[in-house]
């Protein structure tokens, strides 16, 4: 039994997982009170297991692009989360567990910071949205370039996207960008150089 499965079992959340797998969302909602008292890490483990089974490891990233608002998108507002991180992570996990099957659980990193948004991916989130910005938080100017050793002048937006892609890859995820900035071949060039 894996650590994730063990934590779900020990927290008494296994019936929720079985009901979710069976597509019994009504039953999941009946069992939801168990989530209120369970440890946030166990709730996160359950949400991440559901995310893995329903939508896989691809994370759609809307970096400086308008994200679509399809009916399967569940936006999780985090700007007003009390107890900052833990409340925000529990909200993300609940959105995955109680939301529609294969929902696109979306986090806006401009509301909570990129670090918390990344952690939210382990609590059931499957999409990130936010502006590409420099280290001071200022938007990257369209067409801005930076000299990179061995590559010459490279678009700053492409470098930021590569940084995001690398962080997601280290977390075992695959980034899929929807943005007016750098194209995939540009990203691959900077990855293989």
On whether residue 75 sits in a domain, the answer given is yes
User: Looking at residue 150, what is its pLDDT?
Assistant: 92
Q: Is residue 50 part of a domain?
A: no
181 has pLDDT over 70? no
- Calpha distance 48→185 (Å, rounded): 31
DSSP alpha helix (H) spans, 11-124: 14-21, 25-31, 33-37, 40-55, 84-98, 109-112, 114-120
Is the confidence at residue 87, as pLDDT, over 90? no
Q: Residue 147: which domain range?
A: 57-192
pLDDT-derived band at 191 (thresholds 50, 70, 90) equals very low
Number of domains in the chain: 1
Rounded to whole angstroms, how far apart are CA atoms 163 and 169? 10
Global pTM reads: 0.82
Query: Closest by alpha carbon to 78, among 33, 115, 37?
Result: 115
* Within a domain: 103: yes
Tell me if 88 is assigned to some domain: yes
Per-residue pLDDT tens digits for 116-137:
888 999 999 999 998 887 777 7
Residue 100 lies in a domain: yes
- Closest of 193, 124, 121 to residue 164, by C-alpha: 121
């Amino acid at each position: 039994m894996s650590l994730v499965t063990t934590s779900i079992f020990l927290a008494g959340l296994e019936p929720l997982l079985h009901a979710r797998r069976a597509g019994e969302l009504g039953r999941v909602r009946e069992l939801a009170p168990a989530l209120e008292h369970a440890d946030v890490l166990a709730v996160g483990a359950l949400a991440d297991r559901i995310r893995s089974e329903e939508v896989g490891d691809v994370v759609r990233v809307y970096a400086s692009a308008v994200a679509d608002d399809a009916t399967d998108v569940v936006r999780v507002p985090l700007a007003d989360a009390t107890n900052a991180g833990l409340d925000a992570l529990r909200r993300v996990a609940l959105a995955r567990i109680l939301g529609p099957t294969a929902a696109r659980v979306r986090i806006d990193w401009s509301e909570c910071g990129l670090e918390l948004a990344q952690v939210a991916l382990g609590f059931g989130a499957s999409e990130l949205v936010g502006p590409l910005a420099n280290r001071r938080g200022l938007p990257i100017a369209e067409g801005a370039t930076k000299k990179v050793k061995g590559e010459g002048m490279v678009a700053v937006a492409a470098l930021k996207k590569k940084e995001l892609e690398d962080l997601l890859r280290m977390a075992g995820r695959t980034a899929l960008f929807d943005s007016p900035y750098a194209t995939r071949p540009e990203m691959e060039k900077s990855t293989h150089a």
